[in-house]
Structure 1
Amino acid sequence: MLFHLFETNFGTCAIGWNDIGLARVQLPESTPAETEARMIAANMTSAPATLPSFAREARDALLAYFSGEAVAMEDLVLDYSLVSPFNALIYRALRGVPRGEIVSYGDLAKEIGQPGAARAVGIVMSKNPWPVVVPCHRVIGANGKLTGFSAYGGVDTKLSLLTLEGTQFGDTPGLFDDPFFSEE
């Protein structure tokens, strides 16, 4: 499998691919070297200068996304054979959640016909090999709070991605809303 590093408005990202399609999307780590190290740790090799068309399309879509453009990524080719059938089912369903929208873990579980599988959906989100392309940042807790995000920066990165998309949370409780901290 090959990978390509590229600069975005959010930092150095990477895409990895094989003959079937995208194998991985890497969001920025704290340094470009750490982003590259993540790809190498995933048994990928740095790519030659010329990218296959589907990898170039993915890179260009991510560049546009991180520049704030509304980009359709549903047609980017992913190699679902790299994940379990259950994970693939969830990732495919999640790709249908539009930019600027959010969904709960429980609602996503219901969407795939597994209404009791909210925790399993959360575990699958933490293993998403294609963040942004498979928009795991759009999945929130049942209470409307932003919960875990496994990319560098955690929930702050998740919030940055949602803000970039113009997601409105309305009356959703904030990250640190807790009756214990109430001033009343």
Structure 2
Amino acid sequence: MATPPGGLAFCVFPTAIGHCALVWRAPGVVVGSALPQGSARDTRDAVTAWYPGAREAVPDGSVAAAAAGVAVLLETGAGDLSGIDLDLAVVPEFDRRVYEVVRTISAGDTLTYGEVAARLGAPGAAQAVGQALGRNQFPPIVPCHRVLAAGRQVGGFSARGGRHTKLRMLEAEGVHLEHPTLFDV
């Protein structure tokens, strides 16, 4: 099914960490995404609540490639999602600037909230960076999981599973913030 004329479409797709979703408008511009919300049904329900009127559709072209890229990233920790076209029209200017910086962080690398603020030319705005990332409507395309608190601490993460999900996503990319226990070896 094609994108509804003038409307929004979404797809729910399986990944290594659960069912994710992409929401788009023609011609394949992503307006939002969702990390797993529990089950495929829970993800679908969340998307329809966040984007009333969006219709489920089979993605093609750039949206199908984006879904495949998200799935690969979450399975292998590899991949580059920086080429996915995002609709940032309703995103506040500061948040947009934060997302631009965060999208330059490669898989396997991290920055702190303070380092992102410094790259924005706004040292001291680490808390504002964290708030912007808490509003991120494009995870993991805008890879907020790669932004850490001072001292390489995990920091916050608003996705289902919070800190545990963030650690799993980082570990898939080869970033290990915590040493394994005897039970993890």
Same-fold call, TM > 0.5?
A: yes
Question: What is the correspondence of 1:40-59 to structure 2 with a 5 Å cutoff?
Answer: 40-44=48-52, 45-49=54-58, 51-59=59-67
Secondary structure of 2:89's aligned partner: helix
Counterpart check, 1:160 vs 2:153:
no
Which one of 86, 98, 104 corresponds to residue 94 of structure 2?
Answer: 86
Identity of aligned residues (%): 31
Structure 1's consecutive aligned runs of 4 or more residues displaced over 4 angstroms after TM superposition are none
Could you report, residue by residue, the CA deviation over 1:20-75 in whole angstroms, capped at 9, with x for unpaired residues?
611111000122221111101112523333x2422111101012112215111111
Contact 2:77 2:108 in 1 (8 A): no
Aligned partner of 1:92: which letter? E
Q: Give the alignment's Cα RMSD to 1 decimal.
A: 1.5
Which one of 131, 136, 154 corresponds to residue 139 of structure 2?
Answer: 131
Structure 2, gaps ≥5 residues long: 1-7, 180-185
Aligned partner of 1:5: which letter? V
Question: What is the correspondence of 1:144-155 to structure 2 with a 5 Å cutoff?
Answer: 144-155=152-163
**Structure 2 Cα separation of the partners of residues 86 and 107 of structure 1:** 15
Counterpart check, 1:7 vs 2:14:
yes
Secondary structure of 2:107's aligned partner: coil
Which one of 105, 109, 113 corresponds to residue 105 of structure 1?
Answer: 113
Aligned partner of 2:19: which letter? T
TM-score if structure 2 supplies the norm length?
0.86
Which one of 36, 39, 44 corresponds to residue 31 of structure 1?
Answer: 39
1:18 counterpart residue number:
25
Contact 2:77 2:107 in 1 (8 A): no
Give the paired residue count. 170
Aligned partner of 1:10: which letter? I
Structure 1, gaps ≥5 residues long: 175-184
